[in-house]
Amino acid sequence: MAVRNNNTFELYLCEKPSQGRDIARVLGISQRNDGYIQGNGLLVSWCIGHLLEMIPPDGYDSRYKRWSINDLPILPQHWKLEAKKSTKKQLMVIKKLLKQCHSVVIATDADREGETIAREVLDYLKYHGATRRLWLSALDTISIQRALNSIRNSDETLPLYHSGLARGRADWLIGMNLTRAYTLLANDQQVRSVGRVQTPTLALIAKRDREIADFIAEPYYEVLAYFQTKQDLELLETRWQHRKQKTRKKSEGVPKPGAENLSERDLCLDKQQAQAVIDRCHSQYGIVTAASTQRKKQAPPLLYNLSGLQQEASRRLGYGAQEVLNIAQTLYETHKLTSYPRSDCEYLPVSQFNDVSFILQSLCKNDPSICKLLSQANQTQRSRVWNDKKITAHHAIIPTQTATGYQRLNSKERNIYDLIKRRYIAQFFPDYEYDQSIILIAIKQDQFKASGRIPRILGWKQVINSATEHKPKITQNSAEKELPAVAKAEQLLCDHLKLQDKFTRPPKHYTEGTLIKAMETIGSQVTDKVMKKILRETAGLGTQATRANIIQTLFQRRFIKSEKKLIKATELGFSLCDAVPESIKDPILTAQWEQQLDDIAHQNGQTIEGFLQQQINLLKTIICQIKHPAESTPPRRKNQYKPGDPCPDCSHPLEARKAVRGKKIGQTYIGCTHFPDCRFYSWS
């Protein structure tokens, strides 16, 4: 730790005043001044979030005060920041302190945003002295002391700042230019806000709403068969196994909305076919072709990252994504009861295993009602969550060793804390074990199936079934019943059969929890072969730290609304989605951009300049299309390739794709389905 040297100080620059007070307390300094704390040759000061903001277009040129399509795109040559009026006083405090310092310890939140908040201030104030990085995972005394004992070289985290700069500038380019463009295009005095991530998120919601609106329920049929067994005349309920139909031929046309390729889902669409099963199987003997029971185990679920916590709180408690983030932030900052909340990781470093007994003791002191449960925990059990190879910038969200403060929590804070602590406690309980039984019965060509799952050892499930979880509904689901004992090759009489008329159901509207999940896992939904090679499975829309805010922004701008916890697009939201081009609202393309920002942060070959040039190329294309719509849609040439045509190089079918790189990013082209073996392409 640095000490006083030549009448200068070392400054700890934090993100918020509360964070500064916590660090100052552990450093042992307490002399309070206006905007900072001092003592022992050390200074602790803080930003109040972002002290700086990017200047608006008219800050570069006064003519941009008037919105005009002719001025677009606006492309700053030299990016500028300005002090926020509301926090300018604190910026001046930091400026004064930097003149007295020989070095700075960046102590803002340990993520891209925190890195940007601190370094943009240091750059703006032209600080060129030494810097180091305090990397905090929690704000309790023990965690802060550990971080102080292992302060990092600031060069290790500098790429996070570069990623933050790229994100901020890309958002400015897309937001400032396209908001003006589509607002002017609508010409109805209503601002059409466009965002690099918010617009694709809106498109997800609008697309789901239209799928539901266009859905046409399709009838299908199930046959239940009941066989006599030797167990007190107990009837065994089975379900007829419908065989897949042949793939629909092109000549049969496009299926109706809602059909969703029913044949691939093993559904019987022909009532006569289902009735024929009943007619030929009634009072017939069936042969048991399989009868097995296997003991299966299920390990405790992984720990929470922010998205997982938001999804679980939405499902169990009906809490909104931003609400969960705010509560998790309070548990971290104010009560010091949990670790850093904006983590994308579900694992813990192996070194954390040394803290298990201390954390469990603290949980017992905080909430004595849980001590009986904790007495059953096996503290020597090391589950799969302890894995150094899976650790990212942060570990999963877990309870800290703070042994006080639980009684001060309000009901919602207790509910979120309860989810976090129980997921942690579950790691020290046995696997959940159940018996999975399957019986197959054949009557000539017809096959019937029964399955059942019976819990045998609750294990970690006794921990997860907390007071915050909804009580399970009482159902007559046959899968939850213990099946009667039958033997392979045994003959069973089919007592009777039942025909059930059913209808397909539309997809469900998003909730905040399921929308967060869709944003997080967009990379796994890719089917395009080219994009799949480029896009990692972990790619998503936005980040753990920004998704809740994106959803909140869509609400504030009246693009979406909430009806009984269900998220739906408004007319304004639909009109914006219809207006913007696919390249702006395509969630896959936007997820790839987020991946490139991550590559900048981890120095994986991407640069700020290269990333921003993609945004500029896209902007120029879109603005050109808006200004000259007739020129941007030339007539189709007779010899132009189209999807479905045979590839001229290998004869495999061609398909339409979108460019994800280069000057034509976002534009459609025709490529071979046999990629990467065949690399034929043609611009459409």
- pLDDT 10s digits, 229-239: 987 667 999 99
**Residues in Cβ contact with 668 at an 8 Å cutoff, skipping those fewer than 6 apart:** 656, 657, 658, 659, 684
- pLDDT 10s digits, 302-353: 999 999 999 999 999 999 999 999 999 999 999 999 999 999 999 999 999 9
User: For residues 426 and 396, is the Cβ–Cβ distance under 8 A?
Assistant: no
- pLDDT 10s digits, 42-67: 999 999 999 999 999 999 999 999 99
Q: Helix, strand or coil for residue 248? A: coil
The full length of the chain comes to: 684
- pLDDT 10s digits, 586-597: 888 888 888 899
User: For residues 620 and 664, is the Cβ–Cβ distance under 8 A?
Assistant: no
Domains, the chain, in order of start with CATH, read 9-156 (3.40.50.140), 172-211+514-632 (1.10.460.10), 219-249+274-295+436-457+468-503 (2.70.20.10), 306-428 (1.10.290.10), 634-684 (no CATH)
Phi, psi (rounded to 5 degrees) for 488: -60, 140
Share of the chain above pLDDT 90, in %: 73
- Spatial CA neighbour of 408 closest among 338, 465, 337: 337
Confidence band for 662, pLDDT divided at 50, 70 and 90: low
Residue 375 has pLDDT above 90, yes or no: yes
Cα diameter, the chain = 100
Stated as kind and residue range, the H or E segment containing 589 is helix 587-601
Mean pLDDT of 295-305: 97
Mean pLDDT of 550-567: 95
Residue 74 has a pLDDT of: 97
If one compares 327 and 658, the residue with the highest pLDDT of the two is: 327
- pLDDT 10s digits, 394-432: 899 999 999 999 999 999 999 999 999 999 999 999 999
Indicate the pairing of strand 101-107 with strand 9-14.
parallel
- pLDDT 10s digits, 116-135: 999 999 999 999 999 999 99
Confidence band for 1, pLDDT divided at 50, 70 and 90: very low
Confidence band for 630, pLDDT divided at 50, 70 and 90: low
What is the set of active-site residues?
340
Confidence band for 102, pLDDT divided at 50, 70 and 90: very high
Mean pLDDT of 498-515: 96
Residue 470 has pLDDT above 50, yes or no: no
Confidence band for 266, pLDDT divided at 50, 70 and 90: confident
User: DSSP class of residue 192?
Assistant: -
Whole-model pTM above 0.85? no
Residue 437 has pLDDT above 90, yes or no: yes
**Residues in Cβ contact with 547 at an 8 Å cutoff, skipping those fewer than 6 apart:** 307, 310, 321, 516, 519, 520, 541
User: For residues 178 and 200, is the Cβ–Cβ distance under 8 A?
Assistant: no
Residue 91 has pLDDT above 50, yes or no: yes
Residue 255 has pLDDT above 50, yes or no: no
